[in-house]
Each structure stands twice: as C-alpha cells, then as structure tokens.
Structure 1
Amino acid sequence: MAPMRAPAWLPMPIRRTLRVVRRQWRIVVRRARKVSAPARRAWRRSLHLRVVTLTLVASSLLVGGFGWFIADRSTQILLDRARDEVSSQMSGKVDYAVSQLTVHRTERDPKLPTTISNTVTRLSDGDPTESGGALLELRADNYPDLKPVISDERIDASALLTREMRHSVANESQVARQIRTIDVRGEPVKYLVWGSPVPTSFGHVELYYMVPLTTEDKAANEIRATVAVTGLALVLLLGLLAGLVTRMVVTPVRVAARTAQRLSAGLLDQRMKVDGEDDLALLAASFNQMAANLQRQIVRLEEMSRLQRRFTSDVSHELRTPLTTVRMAADLIFSERDEFEPAVARSAELLQAELDRFESLLTDLLEISRFDAGFAALDAEHSDLVPIIERVAERLAGLAERVGVTIELRLPDTPVIAEVDPRRVERILRNLVGNAVEHGERRPVEVTLATDDAAVAVTVRDHGVGLKPGEERLVFNRFWRADPSRARQTGGTGLGLSISVEDARLHGGWLEAWGEPGGGAQFRLTVPVRSGDRLVAAPLPLIPRDRDRAIEAAPAVDSSAPQTSPAAPSALGDEPAEVL
C-alpha cells in the first residue's frame, strides 16, 4: 500500500520528507513489480506450477504443524521424566539432610558447619557438568552466620538460583523448581533446579539440587532434527508426487491445446494419441471425433464455396458474350430512339439503363470472384491522392446535381503522396462518395483528406438518414441494404462496399464506418504511406467533430490492424520458578 498524502496542516519540512518517502515507495513498488513480472506471468499461465506450489504450501503447513506437535510432545515427555527422577531423588536427599541436621539444637552450634559440609559431600552426585551428575547446595538465607556450602566450587550456583526461587524456598518454606541455562566452560548448559526447605530443630535451611539436562536436551534436539528432516523429505515427496500426477493430467490438455491450434491453423489432419480407457483417453477420443467431424464439415463447406465461386465466375464470364451482343443491339436501338414512337423510345432508354446496371453487376461479381480466389494483386506506385479525390468528385458531380447534393472537398494545399494502387483507391472513393451522395438527403457531402508520417486518411461525411446501432458493421456485407425493400430505385448492386473493403485490406489499410439515426454517416479510409507498413493510428477521427460523442464507434472492418553462526536453539527452553 502506498503511503498516504501528507495533510496540509503539517509543517513544510515534514511534508517534503513524506513526499520523498512516497516517491521512493513508488519506485520500490515499480521495481518489485518489474522483478516479479516473470514469476507472476508463469503463475498465471502454468496450471502445473500452481498445483505443485499449492501442494507444497499446504503440505508444508500440515507437516510443519504435525512435526511441531510431535517434537513438543517428545520434549515434554523427556522433561517430565527428568522431573520425576529429580523429584524422587530430592525426597531422599531432603530426608537424609533432615536426619543429619536435626541433631543440632541451635544454629550457633560450632559443629553445624561441619555437618552441613559433610552432608553436601555425602549427597553430591558426580560431575555436575555431565549427564548423571548433579550440583547440590545447602544454604541458610535466614541465618547469615551459616555460609552456603556447594558441592562444586567451579560452578556459580548463584546464576542458577533466581531471587524469586530463593524467596519462595527460604521465606515461604515452599518447594520450587525451574529450568536455567548458564555457561559452563564456554558452552551453554541447561539445569533443572529443584529447591526444598529442610526442617531442623533450630528452623530450616534450603537444599538446592541442580541436575544438568544435557542428555534430555540432546535427545530433544535430535528428535527435532529428525522430525524436520523427515518432514522436509515428506514435503518434497508430496511435491514430486503432485508434480507427477498433475503432469499426467496437464500433458494431455497441453497436447489437446496444441492440436487445436494446429487445427485452427488449417492442419485438419491433426489428431490426439489415445492411450488406455480412462477419462483422458475418452477426452482424446472425443476430441478426435470432433476434429474428424469438423474436417468433414469444413471440407464440404470449402467444396461448396469453391463450387459457388466457380459458378459465379463461370456465369459472369459466360454472360459476357450474350451481354456484348445485346449491348451492341441496344446501342444501335438507343442511337436511333429519336425516330421511334415515344413509348418505344422510352423502352430503349430503360433497356440501356438496365444493361448498364447489369454490366456493372457482372463487373462486380468478377472482381469479387478474383478476391475469393486470391488472384487480386496490388499494383502500388507513388501517387498523389489529391487529384484522385478531385477526379472522383468531378465524375460524380452530375449525380450530385441531379439529387441536389453538393460535394465539398477539404484537401491540403500540398500534394499527399502515398504508395497505393490508384485504380483501387479511386474505386473505393467512388463507392464511398457515390453512396454518400445517394443518401445525403440534399445536404452537403464533405470529403476530407489528411496525412502524417505513417498514414493517409480520407473521410466521407454525409448528413442523411444515418445508420442504426450495429449497422456500421453490416454495411460491408455483400448485398446488404439498410432498407430491405426491393422496390427502392436508388442504390447499386450491393457489392461496392464489399469490394472496397477488399481493396483496403489489399493495401494493408482500414475501412471503417460510423453513423447514427438522423445524424448522418461517416466512412474513413486509412492506408499506410509506404506499402507494407503496419498501421497504428489514423490522422483523422472516425467520429465527426461536429457530433459530441463520448464513445467512438467500433471499427466495422479492420483490414490489417493488430492489435558468525549463532548457537542452535535448544529444544528445552528456560522456565521461570514454579512453586510446587
């Protein structure tokens, strides 16, 4: 989380410091994200990695908790056993000390120190730094004249006896115990310290029995190390097992994904290998059956499409010959129409007009068949788009005058040179401007040209009936009409925009549409300045500047746009004095 913005009431030096901290924090966060990006990407993309990681984390928590419980219980059992043994020994030592010290009636008895020293010597158990040995001390804190006697002067017993423990034993006459750690010969040694009052005829003295827990501590550490190693091996084994099991499941899925990618690339003969009779084998068999069905359907559809394209091409070519003959006769009749009766002359004019439409339809069908067959080629050359647009406007001036529409050109004063096929660009613009004139509703049609270092864009704007939502994608479909009524006399063959889209795609450009009901429509042609370059942006907006729109309409057709090492901790920790 980023640090909060400094409040305005803070002093300026503090606010500057907080700004520096916030800036440094952002730098650290950005670097952390950059460093962790490969790991996050691998986590998102690999199911195998996620399953193995989650298995390792879950098993680590489970095995760690179970191992901690086992180690703790084992340590507690060892400690309880040591306490029981020390308690049993302590009872005998207290009884012996009582029997030796009760013969003295007063603490001032001159023989009492000797008796105390002999008692300590008699009750001592070997080397107090080794297993099986113990340190014993008799002291009388309530009688300052009696000096404490310890079985081994090499060990500082005062470090093992806390003030709380001595107070409980000496002043409250209670039995107390605790675990303490001191340095003996440069190494830490744990002691179980047991203190008990020893009643005598003149009062009581205190007997402290200090047993080293070296054996128990070593055993607890070994148990903890064994549990840790066993747990680590178990976690690794579970991780390996999870990896193998996941791989058995993920591998067929990856094979299926690769096979599906090959199928989508057109390699329809790709199949998965079927092994066994389990669920994965059933998945592979079902996938192969689906692929076979898709292959049959695609082959059938391709054959039908091929036959359809061939039929269209053959019919178009075959109609050329009779059309030529009919055209010759119609031209002859049309040229002599002034000598005919009015009804016959009108029929000759209608025949001529319909023959023009029929010839245009055949030309469009032949062009579409070339695109479908993949025979269309781009004849690119460095051309100035300004005279091309002017030529289109001049050729459509007669149509615009008949329907009461004016064509307004907004062209740069300097030439706009681009590497294009001028014939195809002129055909695109002729279709766009012609449609705008026909649907202009007697309002001006605006043609705008702009360029930058990478692209050239031409927009054709009309103010007619416009397009309904979703129709900006449909206008480029073959034979699609915004008005489904066939009684309408305006409009061409319905193939002009489809051919224009193919021409734009051949240039590596875009042809897009925008429109709204009653607000008119705008079409935008964008082509790269250099043939073969990739388009990134267009110099002109798709939505007209005169329309206050918050969201730009989606492109109707995108022809080419992409997109020093410390001591190991002991299992037996120090404990405070416990009064029994």
Structure 2
Amino acid sequence: MPVRRALRVVRRYWRVLARHGLQYTAPARRGWRRSLHLRVVTITLVLSSLLVGTFGWFIAAQSANILLSRTQDEISSSMSGKVAYAYRQLTVHPQSRDPELPNTINDTVNELFDGDPAEDGDSVISIRAEHYADLPAVTLPASVDTRQLITPDMIRAVAEQGQVAQQIRTAEVDGATTKYLVYGAPVPTKFGHLELYYMVPLTTEDRAANQIRTTVLVTGIALVILLGVVAGLVTRMVVTPVRVAARTAQRLSAGLLDQRMKVDGEDDLALLAAAFNQMAANLQRQIVRLEEMSRLQRRFTSDVSHELRTPLTTVRMAADLIFSERESFDPAVARSAELLQAELDRFEGLLTDLLEISRFDAGFAALDAEHTDLVPIVERVAERLAGLAERAGVEVELRLPDTPVIAEVDPRRVERVLRNLVGNAIEHAEAKPVIVTMTTDEAAVAITVRDYGIGLKPGEERLVFNRFWRADPSRARQTGGTGLGLSISVEDARLHGGWLEAWGAPGEGSQFRLTLPVRAGDRLVAAPLPLIPRDRPAEVSS
C-alpha cells in the first residue's frame, strides 16, 4: 500500500509538472508551429553547433596528441643520452659495495639535473637501486615526493623486467598540482643494473592545449553565431515574399480583388509573384463574370416570377370557374378540371418559392421578429399536414413541452420551415411514424423531425439543402414539391441566426434539427437536442 500511494503521489506531481510545462512552453511551441523563419534558424543553429562542436573537439584532441607525442619523442631522445651518461659513470665500479659508488650516483644525478634543459618548471631526476638495499635513492630536486610519480607497476617493469617504461602522473609539488611525463629505464652496471627515472612537467603542453581548446571554442561559437545570422538573413529573403503572398491571398479571400504582389527582379521569387498576380487577375475576372451571371440570373428569376403572376391570375380565375362547375361536365372533362386545379396550385407554389429565393439572393429578406409561443406553431403544422399523413399512412407524434416555449422569431418563417420539414418527413417515412420533438434552454430552442424511412446516403446530409436537389428523382412524390423547400428553410434559419442541419443513414431514416436563438441577434453556441437520434441502434452509433 505505501508503494502504491507513493506511485499515486508521483503520478499526481508529474501531471502537475507536465501541465505547468505545457503552459509555460505554449508560446514557444506556438511560435515553432507558425514561424518557418524560426524553425529554419533554430535547425541551422542546432546542426551547425553539433557539426562545429564535433570538428572542434577532434581538432583540439588531435592538437593535444601531437603536442604530447612531440614531447614524448624529445624526452625519449634525452632519456637515451642520460642513460648512456649514467652508464659511463657507473660502470667504473665493480661491485655495489664500493664505498665510492654512492658519491658517483650523487655526482651523476647532479650532472644530469644541471644539464636538463626543461622549462616551465623543473624536471625531476632520480636514480634508484631497488635490488640493492645498501644503495640509497638519489632524487633532485629533493623536495619532490617521487612516490606520487613512480608507481609500483613502473618500478616492477624497470627494476625486475629491465624494460623502458613511461606514464603520465599528477603530483602535488610546492602546493600546486602538476602533470608529469615519467620515463624509467634500467642502467646496466658490472654488478647488475640501477634504475634511472626522468620526470618532465607537462605545463607548457597543457597550456598550449588549453589555448588551442579556447581558440577552437571561441572560433566555433563565433562561427555558429555567424551561420545563424546568415541563415536568418537568407531565410528572411525567402520567407518575406511568402508572407506577402499569404497576406495578399487573405485580402483576396476577403473580397479585395485588386490586391497584387510586387514583382522585383527576374529570379524564382519574382516568377512566383508574377504567377500569383496572374492567378489573382484571372480569379478577379472569373468572379466578376460569375457575379454578373448570378445577378442576371437573380434578375431573370425575379422578373419571370413577377411577369408570370399576371397570366397566372387570369388562368387561376378561369380554372376556379371551371373547377366549381365540374359536376355538370362529363367525367373526363371533370377529371381534367381537377388536374388543372392541382397543377395550378403547384405552379403557384413554384412561383412563390422562386420569388422568396430571389428576395434572399437580393438581400431583401427581412425578419419580422416578435415574441412567439412555438408550441402552437408546431401543433398547427401537424394539424394542416394531417390529411397528407393520413393518405401516406404515417402517424405524426408530437413531443412538446407542457409549458409555453417563448422565443423572439418570425412566426411565418418558422411555420414555413416546420411545414417543409414535417412534409418531407411524411413523404419519405414509408408508412412509419414521424416524431417531432421540441426542447429549450436559456439560450436556444431546438426542434427535431425524425423519420424512419429510407434515410440519407453518406454526404447527402449536405446536399439536401441545395436548390432543386432530390435524393431519388424517380420516387413518386406525394406533395408535388418544387425542390426549393429546404433551400428556403435553411435561408429562413440563417436569417434568424440559427441552424438547420440534417442527419441520415441508409435504412435508419433521417433527422432534421432546427435550432433558433431565444433572443433575436444572440449567437448560438450549442443546441438543446442532439443531431444524431438517441434511438439509433447502439451497435451502429458506436
């Protein structure tokens, strides 16, 4: 349990740290995502730092190795001369018990020490007799403790195995830490051999190596900074025209079709600017042409709709007269009178829809909003479509609140939207129920119309609001609609500042949702009812 509790505490603190880290690094991450200039300069600095650092380390290491190798060669050559001199001095004594041998060793060490050309700190020279206890070790300068420099392994190699050995050791001399290159070699005598140790400080080499490292470091930092500045300038030269193109494209998308880029020079960026300007000019011509065609189309639709009103009124008067007297005609003529009346109703509905569409296109549609109870509107729509529902064998079920639902809307337009939605649902319900549901909250009112008919194929939920679009043009229609009902309905919803959305799936039916703000002019954020029905099969919805 304590371990589990500790893990929970660690996870909790880790989440807190991660959250704070994300919060504090958000500006940097946002700048990284949005700025190509920043990404290029940062990547250039990182890669150049790695490259320069690698080469700088290699150069510094190689320089230090060269300095050390040169010193080793010089000391090795000097060591050979010292061994030869010590040999000449010590071979005159036939045995180690010769009373003059200690003096000779002393004189030899003094001579070798006085003749040593080492600089930047004294070298150390020592002659030892590891196998001869009666011969003392002589070291100059005597203040240096050679136990830090001459290790047992080196003594074993020189004294016992008779080999020349070298190593690098660090010792405390006169209160300062100094690095020494230690050489050891056997000195043959008539009674055996002694050991000569030559220790040279590497102060000069270390100082030179440090100077090289400092020079390489400063040069590398300067080079990286210079590369960053160059990358920033070069990237700026490339990114600036791209940013200008982006700003120009934004202005073009906002409707400022006369915006153009400045063309300087004849390079690739100038070619890009020229091509962009050519594209903008072509778009401007096409948009102006399309706007003119749209204006002519709207004017033609409006003019035709108004011009057809007069002959339609005359034909309607004659048709009404014939229809009222149809019982006195023979059956064929009476049936023709009924067909004429029905087609005139359909024609009149088409003209009404075209006129409404032309008002929306021209921007003349106005919202006559007032505080209205939406419950009676839904009930009235269901009552007026009861005959159609009965003929189609469809039951319309209303799920309305028990209290009034007051919203600031245009009741005529809301009723028209609901009439189109419920009428389409009845037409496509295939003798299955149609459910109308209404719910409200403090900000919005949502009304859904659900049917269980053929449904909509993927992607058709966006096409149903297009003008004259039908899911299946070959289907037999009950209402004789014009194909403009949902187009007008979505415009009515937008005029209120609301939404009209559709959902459907093959074999599962469809649902349309109308969402309106409670107060005119408010901005919708969410709908009180879901667009996808709650009664959809769980295995499908999941």
TM-score between the two structures when normalised by the length of structure 1:
0.87
Question: What corresponds to 2:43 in structure 1?
Answer: 54
Aligned match of 2:418 in 418, 429, 432? Answer: 429
Is contact 1:466-1:515 (8 Å) kept? Answer: yes
C-alpha displacement of 1:126: 8.1
Please state if 1:188 is matched with 2:169.
no
- Aligned partner of 2:89: which letter? Q
C-alpha displacement of 1:550: 5.3
Q: Residue 46 and residue 514 in structure 1: after superposition, are their counterparts in 2 closer, same or farther (change >3 A)?
A: same
Q: Which runs of 5+ in 1 are unaligned?
A: 1-11, 554-580
Q: Residue 443 and residue 18 in structure 1: after superposition, are their counterparts in 2 closer, same or farther (change >3 A)?
A: closer
1:258 aligns to what SS in structure 2? helix
Is contact 2:427-2:478 (8 Å) kept? Answer: no
C-alpha displacement of 1:46: 2.4
Aligned positions of 1:260-279 closer than 5 A: 260-279=249-268
Question: What corresponds to 2:365 in structure 1?
Answer: 376
Aligned positions of 1:246-257 closer than 5 A: 246-257=235-246
Distance 2:124 2:376 in 1: 114
Aligned positions of 1:33-432 closer than 5 A: 33-125=22-114, 130-131=119-120, 133-338=122-327, 342-432=331-421
C-alpha displacement of 1:500: 0.5
Which structure's residues are more often helix, by fraction?
2
Q: Residue 101 and residue 463 in structure 1: after superposition, are their counterparts in 2 closer, same or farther (change >3 A)?
A: closer
- Aligned partner of 2:466: which letter? N
Question: What corresponds to 2:531 in structure 1?
Answer: 542
Deviations 1:219-257 (A, max 9, x none): 111111111111222222222222222222222222222
Deviates more, 1:240-249 or 1:322-331: 322-331
Deviations 1:419-465 (A, max 9, x none): 32222111110111122223333333221111233322111122333
Distance 1:483 1:236 in 2: 68
Distance 1:126 1:199 in 2: 21
Is contact 2:166-2:181 (8 Å) kept? Answer: yes
Deviations 1:251-300 (A, max 9, x none): 22222222222211111111111111111211111111111111111110
C-alpha displacement of 1:392: 1.3
Deviations 1:521-570 (A, max 9, x none): 322112233333333432223333333055669xxxxxxxxxxxxxxxxx
Distance 1:199 1:541 in 2: 104
Distance 1:403 1:380 in 2: 34
Identity of aligned residues (%): 78
C-alpha displacement of 1:169: 1.4
TM-score between the two structures when normalised by the length of structure 2:
0.92
Deviates more, 1:282-291 or 1:233-242: 233-242
Distance 2:424 2:477 in 1: 14
- Aligned partner of 2:354: which letter? L
Question: What corresponds to 1:560 in structure 2?
Answer: none
1:124 aligns to what SS in structure 2? helix
Is contact 1:428-1:500 (8 Å) kept? Answer: yes
- Aligned partner of 1:456: which letter? V
The number of residues matched between the two structures is 542
Is contact 2:427-2:477 (8 Å) kept? Answer: no
Alpha-carbon RMSD: 2.5
Q: Residue 215 and residue 282 in structure 1: after superposition, are their counterparts in 2 closer, same or farther (change >3 A)?
A: same
Aligned match of 1:470 in 432, 438, 459? Answer: 459
- Aligned partner of 1:18: which letter? L
Is contact 1:125-1:132 (8 Å) kept? Answer: no
Q: Residue 361 and residue 388 in structure 1: after superposition, are their counterparts in 2 closer, same or farther (change >3 A)?
A: same
Distance 1:441 1:171 in 2: 111
C-alpha displacement of 1:390: 1.1
Q: Which runs of 5+ in 2 are unaligned?
A: none
The one of the two structures with greater contact order (alpha-carbon pairs below 8 A, sep at least 6) is 1
Aligned positions of 1:416-495 closer than 5 A: 416-485=405-474, 488=477, 490-495=479-484
Q: Residue 199 and residue 487 in structure 1: after superposition, are their counterparts in 2 closer, same or farther (change >3 A)?
A: closer
Distance 1:28 1:259 in 2: 42
Deviations 1:401-431 (A, max 9, x none): 3433332211111122223222211111011
Distance 1:132 1:159 in 2: 17
2:25 aligns to what SS in structure 1? helix
- Aligned partner of 1:309: which letter? R
Q: Residue 145 and residue 460 in structure 1: after superposition, are their counterparts in 2 closer, same or farther (change >3 A)?
A: same
